[in-house]
């Protein structure tokens, strides 16, 4: 009999805003670990996140895709900008694959470069790396209140588990469960968890992920919430399926009454 209650959270865009870290680590990956004759890493690039990158981030599903976007923004010839980004986004997945092919890359290589860049920063100056993340304190407070109600918490992220765990520990967040990209898709993870726990909710900022969960027979009963404060496309809030609720930071406590 299932009795233990569990509440699930996405990580990037829900618990922390890691925009500065994404940009910084992607640049460092190209500077130290990935070969590309098309880019030159000017140290001034590190000082401010590209607005084009910020606006394109909601399309990203896996970490390696961020390196594709950064590469296209900083390349010397025909770089992406606020005017040209739409052509790339209109065929986002196809264009990501084309960049991989044009540069003789594989996604695993880019992911390893990103992971290596993060490991380098952690080993060199852990606090500086942590400070690139901005926590959403309202979510942290909500997690603490769930624990007081004897509801376990879990984090499912497409970031590496080791990196998410280090950030959570530094923020004094101790979820019972942490799953990184190594554990498979979020549908697979929630399907497995649903056999053991009564899942009270899942807060995520990727609309398509929530739709996938709602369309899966094993997870369709999980209450799904789209994080209004996360990395959302302009269209994500429009005509949201009625099974998925848009949630705002100042409304989190209301979920305790459900």
Spacing of C-alpha 226 from chain mean position = 13
Q: What is the pLDDT of residue 35?
A: 79
Is the predicted pLDDT of residue 37 greater than 90, yes or no?
A: no
CATH of domain 5-17+134-257: 3.40.50.1000
Count Cβ atoms below 10 Å from residue 242 Cβ, excluding itself. Answer: 6
**Which residues on neighbouring strands pair with residue 238, listed in sequence order?**
none
Instruction: Count CA within 13 A, CB hemisphere, residue 111.
Output: 12
pLDDT tens-digit readout, 237-254 = 999 988 999 999 999 989
Count Cβ atoms below 10 Å from residue 57 Cβ, excluding itself. Answer: 22
Is the predicted pLDDT of residue 258 greater than 80, yes or no?
A: no
d(CA 100, CA 164) in angstroms, rounded, equals 26
Residues 6+ apart with CB under 8 A from 165: 178
Q: Residue with structure tokens 């909601």?
A: 58
pTM for this model (two decimals): 0.91
Q: What is the pLDDT of residue 29?
A: 96
Handedness of CA 239, 244, 249, 254 (dihedral sign): positive
d(CA 156, CA 9) in angstroms, rounded, equals 6
Q: What is the mean pLDDT of residues 157-164?
A: 93
Instruction: Count CA within 13 A, CB hemisphere, residue 35.
Output: 3
Q: What is the mean pLDDT of residues 221-241?
A: 95
Question: At 2, is the pLDDT very low, low, confident or very high (cuts 50, 70, 90)?
Answer: low
Is the predicted pLDDT of residue 1 greater than 80, yes or no?
A: no
Domain residue limits, the chain: 5-17+134-257, 19-130
Q: What is the pLDDT of residue 183?
A: 94
Is the predicted pLDDT of residue 60 greater than 70, yes or no?
A: yes
Compute the mean pLDDT over every residue in the chain, rounded to the nearest whole number: 94
pLDDT tens-digit readout, 174-190 = 999 999 999 999 999 99
What letter would DSSP give residue 154? E
Is the predicted pLDDT of residue 97 greater than 90, yes or no?
A: yes
Question: At 36, is the pLDDT very low, low, confident or very high (cuts 50, 70, 90)?
Answer: confident
**Which residues on neighbouring strands pair with residue 45, listed in sequence order?**
none
d(CA 25, CA 118) in angstroms, rounded, equals 6
Q: What is the pLDDT of residue 242?
A: 84
| One-character DSSP codes across 195-236 | TTSEEEEEEES-HHHHHHHHTSTTTTTS-EEEETTSS--TTT
Contact 3, 150 (CB under 8 A): no
Q: Which is nearest to 160 in space by CA: 203, 208, 119, 209?
A: 119
């Amino acid at each position: 009999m299932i009795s233990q209650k569990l509440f699930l959270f996405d990580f990037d865009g829900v618990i922390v805003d890691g925009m500065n870290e994404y940009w910084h680590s992607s640049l460092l990956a190209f500077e130290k670990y990935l070969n590309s004759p098309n880019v030159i890493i000017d140290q001034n690039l590190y000082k401010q996140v590209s607005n084009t990158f910020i606006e394109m981030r909601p399309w990203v599903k896996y970490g390696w895709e961020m390196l594709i976007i950064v590469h296209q923004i900083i390349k010397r010839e025909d770089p992406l900008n606020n005017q040209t980004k739409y052509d790339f986004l209109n065929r986002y997945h196809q264009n990501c694959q084309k960049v991989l092919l044009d540069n003789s890359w594989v996604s695993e290589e880019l992911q390893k470069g990103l992971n290596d860049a993060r490991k380098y920063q952690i080993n060199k100056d852990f606090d500086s790396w942590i400070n690139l993340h901005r926590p959403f304190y309202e979510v942290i407070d909500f997690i603490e209140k769930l624990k007081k109600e004897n509801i376990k918490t879990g984090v499912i992220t497409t970031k590496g588990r080791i990196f998410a765990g280090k950030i959570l520990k530094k923020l004094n967040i101790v979820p019972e469960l942490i799953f990184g990209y190594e554990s498979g898709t979020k549908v697979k993870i929630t399907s497995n968890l649903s056999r053991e726990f009564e899942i009270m909710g899942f807060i995520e900022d990727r609309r398509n992920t929530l739709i996938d969960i709602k369309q899966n027979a094993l997870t369709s009963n999980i209450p799904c919430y789209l994080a209004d404060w996360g990395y959302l496309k302009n269209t994500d809030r429009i005509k949201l399926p009625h099974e998925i609720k848009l949630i705002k930071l100042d409304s989190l406590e209301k979920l305790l009454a459900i």
